[in-house]
Amino acid sequence: MNITRPFGDTLALIGNTPLVRLAGPSAEAGCDIWGKCEFANPGSSVKDRAALWMIRDAESRGELKPGGTVIEGTAGNTGIGIALVANALGYRTIIVMPDNQSKEKMDTLRALGAQLVLVPPTKYSDPGHFQHVSRRMAEEMPGAVWAGQFDNVANRKAHIEGTSQEIWEQTGGRIDGFTCAAGTGGTIAGVGMGLKEKSPDIRIALTDPHGAALYNYFAHGELRAEGSSVAEGIGQGRITANLEGAPIDTQYRISDEEGLVWVARLLREEGLCLGLSSGINVAGAVALGRELVAEGRERPQVVTILCDTGFRYLSTLYNPEWLAAKGLPVFDWLARTPAPGVEAAA
């Protein structure tokens, strides 16, 4: 039996996540599709890694001192990661987030003891954008540091030094392609850089949601967004410092509907409850797998990221009224009206 050795402290629980073969996506692509289970981190998302690396980086630069405060502007998951790491190290956390993010994320941040500052969603050029508000707060507060996940490359370093090394080891170096979507870009850039260093033949693909500008940037050299998406945590309109030099070989654009198909199938067929960015990533991985199969690579191995737990989206993705209001397909088991009394009695 393969038993993980005991850890001496809770921060060591971040990373070293399992890699799992996804049966449905593998069958669809005609190759092996693997999911890196980032929902298995203590904060249930891929962002625990970035939080730990950014806080350790601020400490090592002497900016974050005992009793200090970590401030960040975030759509949620980074804040959850920061709050957990900050608690474990004795720092305070202040999180600025747009008020249209899921209620679960807000409640979780409050439950973790973070101070929450909600701002209306607005465009990046507006000084009221959550990232600018959080940066100004950190500048004005003594003892505070701004994590700045978008342009702080300690974020992607977490994936160069952590995620990509783990993927290489877990696949025994037998990996043909990697793909995921970009929020800050830390994951795609960091894993891409780490894997390319191992083998330049590994194809790195960006999977972009609608409403983001990166697909057009990598396909046509022009930052231009088209359409929209309800996926939280992904969809970028600029080249962040984390994305600079990212070794992207190819790119796909995936709709919310395509992502939702995989969210539903992975839940129903494989017992995995995930957020929409994971579904979009899996759709991208199937596209990449098919491309590699079509080129004649023998039994290609493709890895993607299962970014966060679906339990974070019970009021949105897993809520039939919310899905219907957004014009999105409702999962058939949610659409079924329960017989009177069934839910109350259960």
Do residues 93 and 83 touch, judged by C-beta distance below 8 A? yes
Q: Minimum distance between the CB of residue 181 and ligand PMP, rounded to whole angstroms? A: 6
- Exposure of 149 in the CB half-sphere (CA atoms within 13 A): 34
Choosing from 54, 234, 264, 286, the residue that interacts with ligand PMP (CB under 6 A) is 234
Residue 284 is a binding residue for ligand PMP (CB under 6 A): no
Residue 46 tokens read as 């891929």
Q: Minimum distance between the CB of residue 243 and ligand PMP, rounded to whole angstroms? A: 9
Closest by CA position to 271, among listed 307, 309, 241, 300: 309
Instruction: Map the footprint of ligand PMP across residues 16-75, applying CB under 6 A.
Output: 45-47, 75
**What distance in Å separates the CA atoms of residue 254 and residue 35, rounded to the nearest whole number?**
17
> Cα angle vertex 19, ends 13, 22, to 5°?
140
Residue 82 is a binding residue for ligand PMP (CB under 6 A): no
**What distance in Å separates the CA atoms of residue 250 and residue 203, rounded to the nearest whole number?**
8
Write the CB contacts of 68 (distance below 8 Å, at least 6 apart in sequence). 91, 92, 143, 144, 145
Residue 148 tokens read as 């700045």
Residue 308 is a binding residue for ligand PMP (CB under 6 A): yes
Choosing from 26, 41, 69, 77, the residue that interacts with ligand PMP (CB under 6 A) is 77
Q: First CA to last CA across the chain, in angstroms?
A: 38
Q: Minimum distance between the CB of residue 319 and ligand PMP, rounded to whole angstroms? A: 17
Residue (177 or 186) nearer to ligand PMP, CB = 186
Choosing from 233, 289, 300, 310, the residue that interacts with ligand PMP (CB under 6 A) is 233
Residue 214 is a binding residue for ligand PMP (CB under 6 A): no
Choosing from 184, 207, 304, 309, the residue that interacts with ligand PMP (CB under 6 A) is 184
Residue 177 is a binding residue for ligand PMP (CB under 6 A): no
**x/- string (CB under 6 A) for ligand PMP, residues 134-173?**
----------------------------------------
Residue 235 is a binding residue for ligand PMP (CB under 6 A): no
- The CA distances from residue 217 to 91, 185, 224, in Å, are 39, 14, 7
Which part of the chain contacts ligand PMP (CB under 6 A), choosing from 22-30, 87-95, 171-179, 181-189?
181-189
Residue 101 is a binding residue for ligand PMP (CB under 6 A): no
Among this protein's residues, is 196 annotated catalytic?
A: no
Q: Across the beta sheet with 144-146, what order do the strands follow?
A: 115-119, 92-98, 69-73, 144-146
Do residues 139 and 168 touch, judged by C-beta distance below 8 A? no
* Size, binding site for ligand PMP by CB under 6 A: 19
Q: Across the beta sheet with 250-254, what order do the strands follow?
A: 19-21, 32-37, 301-306, 177-180, 203-209, 250-254
Tell me which of 36, 47, 105, 157 is the catalytic residue: 47
Choosing from 144, 182, 260, 317, the residue that interacts with ligand PMP (CB under 6 A) is 182
Residue (141 or 273) nearer to ligand PMP, CB = 273
Residue (31 or 191) nearer to ligand PMP, CB = 191
Residue 187 is a binding residue for ligand PMP (CB under 6 A): yes
Residue 275 is a binding residue for ligand PMP (CB under 6 A): yes
**What distance in Å separates the CA atoms of residue 185 and residue 288, rounded to the nearest whole number?**
19
Closest by CA position to 131, among listed 45, 217, 241: 241
Residue 186 is a binding residue for ligand PMP (CB under 6 A): yes
Neighbours of 156 (CB within 10 A): 32
- Residues at the contact surface with ligand PMP, assessed by CB under 6 A: 45-47, 75, 77, 181-187, 232-234, 275, 277, 307-308
Residues assigned a catalytic role:
47
